[in-house]
A and B are shown apart, each in its own frame.
Chain A
Amino acid sequence: NAGVTQTPKFQVLKTGQSMTLQCAQDMNHEYMSWYRQDPGMGLRLIHYSVGAGITDQGEVPNGYNVSRSTTEDFPLRLLSAAPSQTSVYFCASSYRGPGQGLSYNSPLHFGNGTRLTVT
């Protein structure tokens, strides 16, 4: 059971460069999301998806794009990296229960993170 797999683990970018952070899960979870974690700011939601072909913005979406072409994959794209995007990025997934909201009985499963530095 791989769970949620993120690549790469570490990345250094120069300002203005672009890159894609990869996230894959093998649990057939409908819900996938991206968070960034910064000292003193906690975890903040960037984008999320409730199924293939459906994405929506979270709390801090500016500067990031996402797509969900398959259930398994949810890549996060930085189009033009800025020093303010230096952070640790986490992908997380979950089952999604009937109606609104995440499943009552399914916790959020996290990947091990990608540490990104933008110089």
Chain B
Amino acid sequence: KQEVTQIPAALSVPEGENLVLNCSFTDSAIYNLQWFRQDPGKGLTSLLLIQSSQREQTSGRLNASLDKSSGRSTLYIAASQPGDSATYLCAVEGNAGNMLTFGGGTRLMVKP
């Protein structure tokens, strides 16, 4: 059974810092990995999707990498802003398809 772990569970940084969020998964047989953002009381918003054949994806200040063989992904946020404060979740779709397994999330607070 696929298990997805995110460390740390919570992170507080001053504005302007570059930061890295970590995601690890136990079964490397995956179709893709997705990073989501969740604001309090809201649904999840997709940030980046990395296919199994890709190493990284970039969108603005966000860069996500994928190392399938080691079961790891990182989300890099450059020049963090208070508006980046949210919970960030990663999820993997296994080769059986049709199902995403989510990590527990990292709650990020960026202080002005």
Contacts of A106 in B (CB 8 A): 49
- Is the Cβ of B32 less than 8 Å from the Cβ of A104? yes
A-B Cβ contacts below 8 A, count: 70
Contacts of B43 in A (CB 8 A): 4, 90, 92, 110-113
A90 to B43, CA, bound (A): 7
A118 CB–B CB distance under 8 Å = no
How many chain B residues touch A (Cβ–Cβ < 8 Å)? 25
Contacts of A43 in B (CB 8 A): 44, 89, 91, 102
A13 CB–B CB distance under 8 Å = no
A35 to B105, CA, bound (A): 15
Residues of B within 8 A of A (CB): 31-32, 34, 36, 41-46, 49, 51, 89, 91, 93, 95-100, 102-105
